Amino acid sequence: MVERQSALVGRYETWLAPDRSSPRASRRFVRANLAEPTGTDGWVDTAELLVSELVTNALLHARTGIGVAINVFVDAVRVEISDDNPVHPVRGTPDETSTTGRGLEFVELLADDFGVGDSRAGKVLWFSLGPAPAFVAEMGLRNPDASGDRRVVLRDTPLELFNVWQQHASAAVRESMLMSFAPGPAKQVMSATALGGANDAIGALLRAKPEFEFDERLRRDRVDVPLQAAAGLASQFADLREVMERTVVLARDGVMLVPPAPPEVMQFRSWVCDEVARQSDGAAPVSWPENTPHAGVSVVTPPLAWDVSDITAASEALIAADDSNRILAVSVSAAKMLGWRPDDLVGERIIAIIPERLHETHIVGFLRFLLTGRQGIIGSLVTVPARRADGTEISVGLSIRVLPRSGGRTGFVAELTAPP
């Protein structure tokens, strides 16, 4: 705590309900109290933007009442946003297509100083414009009881799979929160408690610092991911599981913008949530399997409706697939190259023609493309190994085209050639 300083000329406070009208109300509150010619009116637009972003973050993630306090100094402004959720925010890394997740980035870019502290009930985020003193509202400091802390370790986690799953889960939880505030019949009912817990679980993942260990034999990064498990982490990951299972249905039905996750990514999510639950009860860590297990997995998204007769009849070696990783059509020459009958591949997942050691690489790249549009090998001619029906491998030239289809879905056409 720092004493009030003589430079403080005014303090204005309001309390907002956890309602979708709160960001608009916070902007009006800022403009009403900074519009007077106090020497700080030049910061109105910036303060409005930052307050709106932080109140929106609190609305989505804390889901409690929101306090806004404006401290006006002779030559500076300091704004505090408080809520009753003690979990500190983590600056995310939204991709260029994300519609949320940039609030802390804006604060970092536009504020002269910023930070977060604990209060008796939860936390306080603050930012200052100008050389404001280190003034903090008189809310007192929280002294959390750490006696329930237990370290959870996600042992031998494949780094790329962890990163793309975390990105997918963050996007799905964020969109679920936005949908929960939607008015009218479009609103998808999801427990506010579950959404809050799921968001806290995402925060725990973002705060994790993986311990790197490169596996020379598998030629991929294997990491231990430690989660500092404060009491309640198990329930947060149970909430995350509940929310993600609900989003699978919504994504399958085309209600959500976030694409459905491949079955292996869903298995990875289950493993993470199971490990948090087990280790929170005192069990020893169990490593993620050396190779992604495929037994019992199934695709939940219905096949894409697409007339692929031109693919089937093509003289080139062509394979058509949809955005659920499902093969829809194979030309005779492509099937012959791979040692299959065309009808035997239709309905299979693309990994049927990819060597097993590359399954995770394919799954990660495929989901990353659906999430971000990052094309990787798409649009280029590359040489890759392909798996034949008898289990042997051949090298093929591969060129992939992306074809937008009706209903917002995506189709892919791969052409196979003799390697250059």
Counting the structural domains of the chain, the total is: 3
Last residue of a domain, one of 101, 129, 157: 129
* CA 205 to each of CA 136, 200, 283, 310, 409: distance values in angstroms, whole numbers, following the listed order: 29, 9, 20, 45, 30
pLDDT 10s digits, 301-357: 777 788 899 999 999 999 999 888 889 999 999 999 999 998 999 988 899 999 988
- Do 271 and 169 lie in a common domain? yes
pLDDT digits (tens, 9 = 90+) for 177-228: 878 776 654 445 677 778 888 888 888 888 787 766 555 555 457 888 888 6
Query: Do 152 and 271 have their domain in common?
Result: yes
Whether residue 115 is predicted with pLDDT greater than 90 in this model: the reply is no
Q: How many other CB atoms sit within 10 Å of the CB of residue 219?
A: 9
Give the pLDDT band (50/70/90) at residue 1.
very low
Total Cβ atoms within 10 A of residue 115: 13
Residue 348 domain flag: yes
Q: Same domain, yes or no, for 156 and 276?
A: yes
Q: Comparing 30 with 98, which gets the higher pLDDT?
A: 30
Is 15 in the same domain as 123? yes
Q: What is the DSSP string of 359-399?
A: HHHHHHHHHHHHHH---TTTTS-EEEEEE-TTS-EEEEEEE
State the Cα–Cα distance between residues 207 and 240, nearest whole angstrom: 16
SS3 content of the chain, % helix, strand, coil (to 5): 40, 25, 35
Of 96, 129, 162, the residue that ends a domain is 129
Given the DSSP bridges, would you call strands 66-73 and 8-16 parallel, antiparallel or unpaired? antiparallel
Does residue 158 sit in the same domain as residue 81? no
| 389 domain-assigned | yes
Q: Is residue 270 located within the same domain as residue 330?
A: no
82 shares a domain with 156: no
Residue 94 has pLDDT above 70, yes or no: no
pLDDT at residue 376, as a whole number: 75
Radius of gyration, alpha carbons of the chain:
26
CATH number of the domain that residue 327 is part of = 3.30.450.20
Whether 292 is in a domain gets the answer no
* CATH number of the domain where residue 68 is located: 3.30.565.10
d(CA 377, CA 395): 16
Q: Is residue 300 part of a domain?
A: no
Closest CA to 141 of 118, 121, 124: 118
In a domain, 293, yes or no: no
Mean pLDDT of the chain: 79
Residue 335 lies in a domain: yes
Query: What are the C-alpha distances in Å from 45 to residues 42, 115, 176, 270, 344?
Result: 8, 20, 30, 45, 62
* 123 and 153 share one domain: no
Q: What are the tokens at 266?
A: 């869903």
Nearest C-alpha neighbor of 218 from the set 361, 351, 396 = 361
Question: Which run of H or E residues covers position 383?
Answer: strand 382-387
Which residue range forms the structural domain that includes residue 65? 8-129
Measured distance CA(158)–CA(200) in Å, rounded: 23
Give residue 336's pLDDT: 94
Judge whether 116 lies within some domain: yes
Is residue 241 domain-shared with residue 353, that is, in the same domain? no
- Model pTM? 0.66
Do 153 and 196 lie in one domain? The reply is: yes
